Amino acid sequence: MPLVSVIIPAYNAETTVQETIESVLGQSLQDFELIIVNDGSTDRTLQVIESIADPRIKVLSYPNAGAAVSRNRGFAHATGEFVAFLDADDLWTPEKLEAQWKALQENPNAQVAYSWTDVIDQSGQWLGQGDYTVANGNVYAKLLLCCFIVSGSNTLIRREAYVAVGGFDESLTASQDFDLYLRLAARYQFVAVTAAHVLYRFSSNSMCTNIRRMEETSLAVRERAFNQAPEPLSLSLKQHSIANFYKCALFRIMNEPLSRKRGLEIAWLLWNAINYDPTLMRKRIVLKIVLNILIITVLPSKYAKFILSKVRGLSNPRPLLGYVRIDLEGL
């Protein structure tokens, strides 16, 4: 029986899945099985997977059903004491599994270990640092404020904990990772590994860039979590939680290619962020975002891009992440 079951759901991932698999095979902790679920891919994903020879790899193929279903399908074949999920375009550093496994051994009351995340682009080039939040023990309230674990490619989970919470919610079309982490945090302790072991690939085609779908599912997950919280939570915490969703969504969408439609989406997200956190009106970053909106929506795209590239700091929304961290530290 392997120590860890690694599960990769893959849909039309021919350009990235080989590198993702290699990042698992290169782990310093080698006692694992790798279960790859081909989710009805129509490109060469399956051929790429099958070209990699390793006895620890098990390949399953099903009709397309989405990431949540694929992860649960993979887990149904898993035998490891621990389970880790990895999206087919993300990467792990070689120490990821070993560092998280050691953290759980050193913290026997914890059921989930997570690491920090850095961001890469489509070609694998480093774009920047992700959220480096450190939260140990009962992280439920902090996780409600902001999903600082960032992606579904991060955690190492004890098998019994994953089974106890029922795995991924297959009714959700997005935010499945956030939902799973909240249900785990409602019952179990977490432990942070203070190193960046996950490389999250940022893409304009990724699920989290579909802002309206993310908005619908993320707010629904938050509503359910507040209603089912293990202890009463304040209305203020809920307001901050929703505001932080809109702030994080602003950061993501402002790093995408410019267009008038994008400018209108930015305006919508900013309006909602201010609605739930009026203190934003006192932040200088809001003026920068408003100028972004005006430039993007009024000027032709080539002129808008030129202006934003020339005005120092105007197109950089990164300070928004600072507001999220301040809210977390204020608990």
pLDDT, tens digit (0-9, with 9 covering 90-100), for 13-66: 999 999 999 999 999 999 999 999 999 999 999 999 999 999 999 999 999 999
Per DSSP bridges, beta strands 4-10 and 82-85 are: parallel
Taking only the tens place, the pLDDT of each residue in 268-296 is 999 999 999 998 888 877 887 888 788 87
Tell which wins on pLDDT, 210 or 1. 1
Look at residue 183 in the predicted model and tell me its pLDDT.
96
184-212 pLDDT, tens digit per residue, is 999 999 999 999 999 998 775 554 457 78
Match 């992700």 to its residue by tokens: 130
CB 3 within 8 A of CB 81: yes
Lowest-pLDDT range, 137-141, 231-235, 270-274, 310-314? 310-314
Residue 89 CA to residue 200 CA, distance in Å, equals 8
- Please provide residue 39's backbone torsions phi and psi, each rounded to the nearest 5 degrees: -90, 60
In the chain, what is the greatest distance between 2 CA atoms, to the nearest angstrom?
A: 61
Map residue 241 onto helix, strand or coil.
helix
CA distances from 54 to 1, 45, 119, 280 (A): 16, 17, 28, 52
Q: Is the pTM of this model over 0.85?
A: yes
Distance of alpha carbon 289 from alpha carbon 97, whole angstroms: 39
Alpha helix (H) ranges present in 281-330? 284-298, 301-310, 319-329
Q: Sign of dihedral through CA atoms 126, 130, 135, 138? A: negative
CA-to-CA distance for 270 and 285, rounded, in angstroms?
11
User: Burial level of 213, CB count in 10 A (0-12/13-18/19+)?
Assistant: middle
CA distance 148 to 133: 6
The span from the CA of 127 to the CA of 121, in Å, is 6
